[in-house]
A and B are shown apart, each in its own frame.
Chain A
Amino acid sequence: MIELTHDPIDYTQLTERVRSDQAGAVVLFLGTVREMTGSRQTLALDYDAYPEMALAQMQRLVEDIQQRWPVTGVAISHRLGHLELGDISVAAAVSSPHRAQAFEAGRFLIDELKVRVPIWKKENWADGSTEWVHPGVPSTAPAEQE
């Protein structure tokens, strides 16, 4: 089960999707809007996506996981739009017969999602400024200062 949603994520329901009597272990990851990044204060985040490609890449990620680990179930829900502090931006659940596989697959899932899936967050800082987060790209490019 894979989805992009503008609504709050029901992570209980998402977790139930991967639970079964064949799975002795269920691991759930919840990405949550955090207030402090170092000394900078966040008020809110705005998430945007390239939806068709994001869904395709999430599906690919699930298939990669199914090839690498004997998982019983995988579910991902990523929220888009305006999120306040404490809101859940992403929920990823993995189940497997034994816990080691579920922890490994769950870690791989969220790590890869963050580098592969075309979704972006924009910081709304407490000082009133906003800034798209693009890892490896200078936060304020010279052309924007001109």
Chain B
Amino acid sequence: MNVTVRLFARARELAGQSEVCVNVPEGLTVAELRHRLGQTCPELKSLLPHLMFAVDNEYVSEARCLGPTVEVAAFPPVSGG
């Protein structure tokens, strides 16, 4: 299946695009998605270990299985305020 990964801040700048489509097997974990995102988008390599992932507006852990989710957000640590 295809997962759309929305990118923000430095992640978007490095990738040169606001979203990346990653082809993954269903049931993939966030940890595996992180790895595949780096393969699909090598420009993100330096930032990859720092990225946080979110599904349905909630942060998700590395062990979380993505199931039929089609949209994920990935971004570096936040700095609002």
B54 at the A/B interface (Cβ < 8 Å)? yes
* B80→A78 contact, CB < 8 A: yes
Can you name the residue of chain B whose Cβ is closest to the Cβ of A116?
A: B78
Which of B13, B47, B80 has most chain A Cβ within 10 Å?
B80
Residues of A within 8 A of B6 (CB): 50
The interface residues of chain A, by DSSP majority, are classed as mixed
B73 at the A/B interface (Cβ < 8 Å)? yes
Residues of B within 8 A of A50 (CB): 6, 8, 54, 73, 75
Chain A interface size, under 10 / 10 to 19 / 20 to 34 / 35 or more: 20 to 34
* A117→B78 contact, CB < 8 A: yes
A142 at the A/B interface (Cβ < 8 Å)? yes
Chain B interface size, under 10 / 10 to 19 / 20 to 34 / 35 or more: 20 to 34
* B81→A31 contact, CB < 8 A: yes
* B73→A136 contact, CB < 8 A: no
**Cα-based distance from A31 to B81 in the complex (angstroms):** 6
Total A-B pairs, Cβ < 8 A: 87
**Cα-based distance from A122 to B73 in the complex (angstroms):** 19
**Cα-based distance from A57 to B45 in the complex (angstroms):** 28
Can you name the residue of chain A whose Cβ is closest to the Cβ of B59?
A: A116
* A120→B46 contact, CB < 8 A: no
Q: A50-B73, A144-B14 are in contact. Are A134 and B9 (CB under 8 A)?
A: yes
CB contacts under 8 Å to B, within A98-126, are 110, 113-122
B10 at the A/B interface (Cβ < 8 Å)? yes
1/0 per residue A59-76: CB within 8 Å of B?
Answer: 000000000000000000
* A114→B80 contact, CB < 8 A: yes
Contact sample, A vs B, 15 pairs, CB 8 Å cutoff = A47-B80, A50-B73, A50-B75, A53-B57, A78-B81, A90-B80, A90-B81, A117-B78, A118-B8, A120-B78, A132-B76, A133-B79, A134-B77, A137-B77, A143-B43
Interface residues in chain B, defined as those with a beta carbon under 8 Å from any beta carbon in chain A:
6, 8-10, 13-14, 43, 45-47, 50, 54, 57-58, 73, 75-81
